[in-house]
Amino acid sequence: MSGDLMDDDARWAAVLRRDRALDGRFVTGVLTTGIYCRPSCAARHPHRDNIRFFADGAAARSAGLRPCKRCLPDDVARDEGAVLAAIAAIKGSEEPLALADLAGRTGYSPTHFQRVFTRHTGLSPAAYARALREERARQALSDGNRVTDAIYDAGFSGPSRFYENMEGRMGMTASAWVNGGKGATIHWAVVPTSLGDMLVAATTKGVCRLSFAEGRDALEERFPAAELIEGGDAFAALLGQVVEAVEAPTGGFDHIPIDVKGTAFQEAVWRELRKIPAGETRSYSDIAAAVGKPKAVRAAGSANGANNVAVLIPCHRVVRSDGSLGGYAYGLPIKDELLRREGAPGQPRLDDF
């Protein structure tokens, strides 16, 4: 049997939905035909009693099975190698690489390689390269480098290309970012809710911080040079929407703008969190698989914990694989209550909230 944390029922469910995100995590052996397949194999599903799950192709072959000629399960390792080679090429190139160039390095056609890369990383090669340049620029600016130096060092061809790519993403100018938010305006307030005092802060782009039991000092630590303004007429309308969403979280949050920054992987995780419907939960393994990194369960947990905008990016909807609540930055009682309000089924409840 496979040694990962998924049980056989979860593996069978993945086979039934032909989950490409779990390709490479295990293989399905069909004992009646003597072959083994990827979870996503398009062939007709065998009877449940006729299958056995294996950790990988080597384990299946040692049991006397042969690879399926339709889904080519042993090519998963080749796909991973191709993606890693492409990532190394992207990181090592001073200029953007064309899709055809990357595909040529891996021996795949451009169309097939784009599908493989996107499935493994959650981003297209072009989007990954842009995210990498933006991440490098943010890091260089945060380290105190001159704006112009940071722009060129990050791989942008010039300032105009940098501002074109970063418009609407950083929530403030590059100069403000490097100077701890200097010149940026952040409106904020601490408001009472049924979950306790809640800090809400927003730039002109959207909510950049939502937390519980925090105040102005938390914002000053992140943006020591920003202009922090408590309240404000325009901010009041946004604040009202946020409070309403927290008190009645079943209505959805997509209408509330947010302004968050992270690595490409973190932002991919946060996007997946926002896709979880109210009343449902996911495990850390589910999130890792959804972003195309099924083995990065711990990294998915870290990205979940790095979320700066609680509730609106619903990290509280992620639980352990056994259904228990797991952790939460603002305490399990708040997580438990949020899930109760959303009607998530089958969750263990705390009785001390």
Q: Is 208 marked within a binding site?
A: no
Residue 299 near residue 264 (C-beta atoms within 8 A): no
For the chain, what is the mean pLDDT? 80
| Res. 172: pLDDT tops 60 | no
Of 55-59, 135-139, 151-155, 216-220, minimum mean pLDDT range: 151-155
pLDDT at 136: 66
Tokens of 294: 């099924």
CA 334/CA 327 separation, integer angstroms:
11
| Res. 230: pLDDT tops 60 | yes
Q: How confident is the model at residue 113 (pLDDT cuts 50, 70, 90)?
A: confident
pLDDT at 294: 84
| Res. 14: pLDDT tops 90 | no
CATH 3.40.1190.20 applies to domain 264-342: no
pLDDT at 254: 80
Q: CA dist 122 to 222, 226, 312, 344, 350, Å?
A: 29, 33, 21, 27, 35
pLDDT at 127: 80
| Res. 235: pLDDT tops 50 | yes
Q: Which of 264, 268, 310, 315 is catalytic?
A: 315
Share of the chain above pLDDT 90, in %: 24
CATH tag for 75-133 (out of 1.10.3470, 3.30.70, 2.60.40, 1.10.10)? 1.10.10
**Token pair 């990294």: residue:** 299
Residues 295-348 pLDDT 10s: 888 888 888 888 889 999 999 999 888 778 888 888 899 999 999 988 875 444
37 is catalytic: yes
Tokens of 251: 């209505």
Q: CA dist 40 to 17, 228, 297, Å?
A: 8, 51, 20
Mean pLDDT of 137-164: 54
pLDDT at 198: 93
315 is catalytic: yes
| Res. 351: pLDDT tops 50 | no
Output the pTM of the full model: 0.54
Mean pLDDT of 149-163: 52
Residues 277-304 pLDDT 10s: 888 899 988 898 888 888 888 888 888 8
Residue 221 burial by Cβ neighbours in a 10 Å radius (0-12, 13-18, 19+): exposed
Mutual orientation of helices 110-121 and 125-142 as an angle, nearest 10°? 50
| Res. 38: pLDDT tops 70 | yes
CATH tag for 8-71 (out of 3.40.10.10, 3.40.50.720, 3.10.20.30, 3.40.50.150)? 3.40.10.10
Going from N- to C-terminal start, the domains of the chain cover 8-71, 75-133, 185-247, 264-342
Q: Is 41 marked within a binding site?
A: yes
Alpha helices in the chain (DSSP H): 8-16, 57-62, 75-92, 99-106, 110-121, 125-142, 147-153, 159-166, 174-178, 216-222, 233-247, 264-275, 284-290, 297-305, 332-342
pLDDT at 182: 66
Higher-confidence residue: 313 or 134? Answer: 313
Q: CA dist 259 to 188, 286, 337, 338, Å?
A: 14, 25, 26, 22
pLDDT at 122: 64
pLDDT at 349: 47
pLDDT at 321: 80
Q: Which of 15, 22, 37, 288 is catalytic?
A: 37
Q: Is 71 marked within a binding site?
A: yes
Do 8-71 and 264-342 agree at the fold level?
A: no
Share of the chain above pLDDT 70, in %: 80
Q: How confident is the model at residue 97 (pLDDT cuts 50, 70, 90)?
A: confident
